[in-house]
Structure 1
Amino acid sequence: MNFEDFKYHEKNIPASSGQKTLYFENLKNTFYEEIKAAKNKHDYFNQFDQDSVENFMIRYASHKANLAEYYTYYINESYHNKELKYREKTEKVFNLILQKKLWNIQLQWRANLINIKEIRTTWDFSFWNRHITSCPFLPLVEEAEVAILKQYLRDPSNNHDSDEWIYNWQDYREIMEKDEDGDLSAMPDWYEFYDNRMGTGTLLLLPDERGSKEDYYADLGREFYINETKEKIATPATPYVPPPPYLFSGIEEMFKYARKFEDDKHIVELFKIANGLNKTEESYGNICDDEIDAAIELLKEADYAVPINGNSDWREAIKQCAQQYINNVIADEIDVVYEEYRMLAEIGLSKNDDQDVMSEFEKDSIAKIITSYILKGREICGEPQDFDF
């Protein structure tokens, strides 16, 4: 798209630094007033939690002003090179370290060895599994852990697509369930690889004291509320009205709004570019002709000879070869991601909307149900209605 006629083209903006700063600060306020006025013209925001809507409008106006001010940067970034092409994949794989650190913490927490303010019940580990990069109590990633992850990625026996690694890394019951041979067959390969090199495998021997007590109290509380409901069954109950969903202020949510309501085609294009830069690369997980062709095209970009291992299925061999190439590229990029991670940690900044995540944490409806069961169970046992057990 040609941006020569862009309303906020650099030729239309004050040249001096001070005037330029003031211009875009005023523009941000203007954008906020515009979206605030638009809120009254359509019902899009009515479906969401209103506190989150206000936060969305503020962040949207700020992001829109940022796109207008730095539009040339976003245009150039849309043509990013091979290294940047895999950046988001690399960041996602880097999170495997965070998941393992959270898993180790969970094992210690369940054994009553540590207390954590942001963990009320075992359910909260599932919450932080979904928001791992915003988890506030994880210790910093160490260089040794980064080195281990790079070893894991370069190991030919671990040529899995990183998109296949997205599941509940904190599902204690599933991971710790032994099969008929007495093995932990659901244990992620990455966890075993890490334990064997960091010597943390002994954490698996810790007892699940918290989980057992939690189940006991929750069962008592659940049974109490079930019986209470049966007694009131004859009385028409007030229909349950679920709370409105939370409107997150992420790049994708902002793009959806811009595509639906923005009139300026240049602004929409900039939101599209920003969203595209935030997207994950497509997966090569399934074996079909189109994806085999895609895997071959992927291997063509390599600037070195990529070895291919033998396999009874040549298509499987090509798929694995392409995935190993991706893993090697990611392994090469991990250090850059780690450096950025350390820099942000040192200055106390985050790439996420941590405030939004904490708001969702406090409003988690499933967590509220579970805590109500546990506290009622404690009350039935004549014990304090707290989580100090």
Structure 2
Amino acid sequence: MAKDDDFQPEDDDDDEQPFTSYFQEEANKHQAEADTAADVAADVLQNARYDEFFAPYQPRFRESFAHHYVLARQAWISVGQANEDQPNRRLLIHAKDAYVALWAIQQKKLFDLQCRWRAEELTDVPGVVISDDFGTLSAAIENCAPLPAITAEEFALYLEWVRQADYARDLDDRNDGCFVWQNHRFIREALAPDAPPLIARVQPVLKKTVSDWYRFHNARTGHDRLLYLPDHRGAKEERYWNAWREQQREQEAIARAVGTAPDPRPLYLPPEEQEALATEFARHFESARLNRWRETKELLRPRQTEEDRRMDLMANFLLSNPEPVPVAAAADWREATRQAYYAYCHRQLLEQLPVVYDEYLQRQSWGITQPNRLDWELSKYDLARYYRGWLLAGRARLGEPEDFNF
């Protein structure tokens, strides 16, 4: 490894090192900012149309002002553009939370529909040919064709649940990533552990939970009966999955026999392991000075835990909130801050839900597509298309038609 103060890459060919394109783009961006700053500073210093503005000050003041003005102008642009590009920031953050939360109503309706489809009470659900298609519909729940619109009665029931729900446990899900909405086996095992066992299809290990809204809804509607319906469709699919898996095992055995088995070494590592590996790499290959800097950084700025990161977000939110937020007395300031934050967000959610529901109804009446609840398009990550192909391969292996009529 070259010395830390004169390191140069061995090869500057971007075609061979495509990862360098990111750094080149960043360099170009900063160079453009520097060029703009130089132009602004020159204009402030030399343009005669500002002479009258600076007349009350000493001539050298204009030089120091130009420096400070360039920095202030860059900050205005950076913050202003960020807020224009992401309008769901502070002023609209609670409306966004409410909009994301609203779709739990449709998620429950879609899950109930899935239970009936699996039991073959229903056979024609638009967009569904295999069970994994419910995951795709869930990702684009805002405009899910098989579901009727949210009724006033459904919204009233949901609002009743929100009022009594624990915000931290049940509602703190701004990015819609805490709850399992359509994983049939996972939800059945959580909500109906006494139900007959389902098919033994491999399920991912989920760091999520089932929303208490599902329990509340079932208790009020009697829809817990749907959890006990037989999974006829899943059993049929499992037969084809097993055929496909057997085919994969045979292909892997052939590959091992001819020496072309897949490389068993890891291609990716979790972030924590990546960081540990970077430290180990530095110890082996970097200079003593850089390793001293690394150790100093790790000592002064240790890796932040998820709990610490959440606490920073809460404290900064309350600190910059435009209205006072009451904080109850507590033995631990962290717990007091946490409870104040959750209570405030809960109040705001209850205020905003009727607003976003009225807006939802307005778009429905106008025939306008409901906007995505998140800042990214989850439907792009449609894994069901792969599952469809694998299922059809399993049917072909069993000598059956490569279609979904089974």
Tell me the TM-score normalised to structure 1 length: 0.56
Structure 1 or 2, whichever has the larger Rg, is 2
Equivalent-residue separation in structure 1 for 2:226 and 2:334 (angstroms): 40
Uncovered stretches (5+) of structure 2, i.e. residues with no partner: 1-20, 23-79, 198-207, 263-305
| Aligned partners of 1:292 and 1:319 also within 8 Å | yes
Change (3 A) 1:150 1:220: same
Uncovered stretches (5+) of structure 1, i.e. residues with no partner: 1-42, 45-70, 240-283
Say how many residue pairs are matched.
269
Partner of 2:351: 332
| Aligned partners of 1:287 and 1:319 also within 8 Å | no
Equivalent-residue separation in structure 2 for 1:170 and 1:79 (angstroms): 27
| Aligned partners of 1:220 and 1:373 also within 8 Å | no
Residue 109 of structure 1 pairs with residue 122 of structure 2: no
Residue 166 of structure 1 pairs with residue 166 of structure 2: no
Equivalent-residue separation in structure 1 for 2:215 and 2:130 (angstroms): 26
| Aligned partners of 2:140 and 2:378 also within 8 Å | no
Partner of 2:315: 293
Partner of 2:392: 375
| Aligned partners of 1:90 and 1:337 also within 8 Å | yes
Partner of 2:127: 118
| Match 1:92 to one of 93, 100, 110 | 100
Partner of 1:219: 242
Give the root-mean-square deviation of aligned CA atoms: 4.5
| Aligned partners of 2:98 and 2:352 also within 8 Å | yes
AA aligned to 1:132 is I
Shift of 1:231: 4.0
5 Å matches for 1:51-62?
none
Equivalent-residue separation in structure 2 for 1:191 and 1:155 (angstroms): 14
Change (3 A) 1:131 1:205: same
Partner of 2:338: 319
Partner of 2:161: 152
AA aligned to 1:376 is A
| Match 1:209 to one of 232, 251, 259 | 232
Change (3 A) 1:318 1:193: farther
Equivalent-residue separation in structure 1 for 2:209 and 2:90 (angstroms): 38
| Match 1:346 to one of 365, 389, 393 | 365
Change (3 A) 1:162 1:212: same
AA aligned to 1:94 is L
Tell me the TM-score normalised to structure 2 length: 0.53
Residue 129 of structure 1 pairs with residue 111 of structure 2: no
Shift of 1:342: 1.7
Change (3 A) 1:369 1:296: closer
Equivalent-residue separation in structure 2 for 1:203 and 1:350 (angstroms): 30
SS of residue in 2 equivalent to 1:329: helix
Equivalent-residue separation in structure 2 for 1:371 and 1:193 (angstroms): 34
Percent identity of equivalent pairs: 28
Partner of 2:286: none
AA aligned to 1:341 is Y
Residue 198 of structure 1 pairs with residue 221 of structure 2: yes
Post-superposition Cα deviations, 1:232-279, rounded to whole Å, max 9, x if no partner, equal 667899x9xxxxxxxxxxxxxxxxxxxxxxxxxxxxxxxxxxxxxxxx
Partner of 2:401: 384
| Aligned partners of 1:111 and 1:208 also within 8 Å | yes
Change (3 A) 1:173 1:358: closer
Change (3 A) 1:130 1:216: same
